[in-house]
Amino acid sequence: MTLSLQGKVAVVTGGASGIGLGTVECLIEYGAKVVAGDLQDEKGASLVARFGDDKVAYRHCDVTDADQLKALIQAAEDEFGGLDILFNNAGIGGPREGIEELDFDDYDKIMNLLLKAVFMGTQYAIPLMKKRGGGSIINTSSVSAIAAGYAPLTYSVAKAGVAHFSKMAAAELGKYKIRVNAIRPGLIATSIFGATLGLPREQADQLAALISQTAAGIQPAGRAGQARDIAEMVAFLASDASGFITGESITVDGGITVGPPHSWKEDAPGPMDAIMNITEGA
């Protein structure tokens, strides 16, 4: 199967680093034009310099700010003539506290970023996609949406909300030929882990490299996931090849939810034990 996104226009939130950056690169390779939104303006400018403004545009965007998010999505039409694909991806790890210790100001921040922004982005995309006769919306959920132990409480609950939102939105928007799906990434070696710990960007990137090494021993695929692994699934869900798929949450996790290799051993690590061992010292 050969994917093609020729003639398609996409918006990617959180598009200057991590999964978002990998997805911007991938979509461009498959022929799409992309508007990337992020808070990391230097990286955004570098993206445009690398690919050219005929293939990618960048906008500073805090996805919790309705005006900025609406402007980002409108930029797809302003820059490239329309919108066919939306990847609601921007996010951070969130607070590590459990129910008893949770600060509800922190709760609100995470829910606004990880869940409300997905609602808003989808709403703002609908009119533009209706003009094009349909479209594809892909939302980043997580394996933590389906089981405990993969990520902190608030993050996990928000990602579960994203998965169910995707199902509900698919049912509502099918009449416009707009498909909506979610992706549940597993352990992807990006700086989100360090960001959760409050580390500066450079240290968070270094931690991602350590996590990549550790992941080889705790999941059947024998390696950490890379941004490209998720990007390829985004490209598939964005393409006509997935035209009969909507309302689904698709797990892309290297088998981590199956259990660690040799999981019958009593000393086998839990899904996040090995990662927490190295992050505790970060």
Report how far residue 235's alpha carbon sits from residue 40's, in angstroms, rounded to the nearest whole number: 23
Beta bridge partners of 252: 185
Q: For 7-24, how does the pLDDT look when each residue is reduced to its tens digit (9 = 90+)?
A: 999 999 999 999 999 999
Pick 84 or 279 by higher pLDDT. Answer: 84
Provide the 3-class DSSP secondary structure of residue 141.
coil
Nearest by Cα to 195 from 68, 110, 255, 108: 110
Take residue 230 and report the two structure tokens written for it.
């998720």
- pLDDT-derived band at 272, boundaries 50, 70, 90: low
- pLDDT confidence band for 218 (50 / 70 / 90): confident
Helices (H) and strands (E) in the chain, counts: 10, 7
Could you give the residue numbers annotated as active site? 155
Q: What are the domain boundaries of the chain?
A: 9-189+227-255
Q: Would residue 47 be called left, alpha or beta, if left means φ above 0 and alpha means ψ between -120 and 50 degrees?
A: alpha
Q: Answer whether 7's CB lies under 8 Å from 30's CB.
A: no
pLDDT band, residue 175 (cuts 50/70/90): very high
The pLDDT tens digits of the residues spanning 154-170 come to: 999 999 999 999 999 99
Give just the sign of the alpha carbon dihedral 41, 45, 47, 53. Answer: positive
Number of residues written out for the chain: 282
Q: Which of 152, 43, 141 lies closest to 107, judged by CA?
A: 152
Q: What is the pLDDT of residues 84-117, one digit of tens each?
A: 999 999 998 778 899 999 999 999 999 999 999 9
More confident residue, 245 or 202: 245
| Per-residue b or e along 92-111, where b marks 16 or more CB atoms closer than 10 Å to that residue's CB | ebbbbeeeeebeeeebebbb
pLDDT score of 179: 99
Q: Percentage of the chain with pLDDT > 70?
A: 88
pLDDT reported for residue 210:
77
- The pTM of the full predicted model, rounded to 2 decimals, is 0.90
* Owner of token pair 């919306």: 137
What's the mean pLDDT in 28-52?
Answer: 98
Of 187 and 182, which is predicted with more confidence? Answer: 182
What are the distances in angstroms from CA 8 to CA 63, 82, 117, 134, 174? 22, 8, 23, 11, 19
Tokens 């922190």, residue?
106
Contact (Cβ atoms closer than 8 angstroms) between residue 93 and residue 149: no
Q: Distance (Å, rounded) from C-alpha 172 to C-alpha 170?
A: 5
Q: 9-189+227-255 adopts what CATH topology?
A: Rossmann fold (3.40.50)
Instruction: Reduce the DSSP state of residue 144 to 3 states and report it.
Output: helix
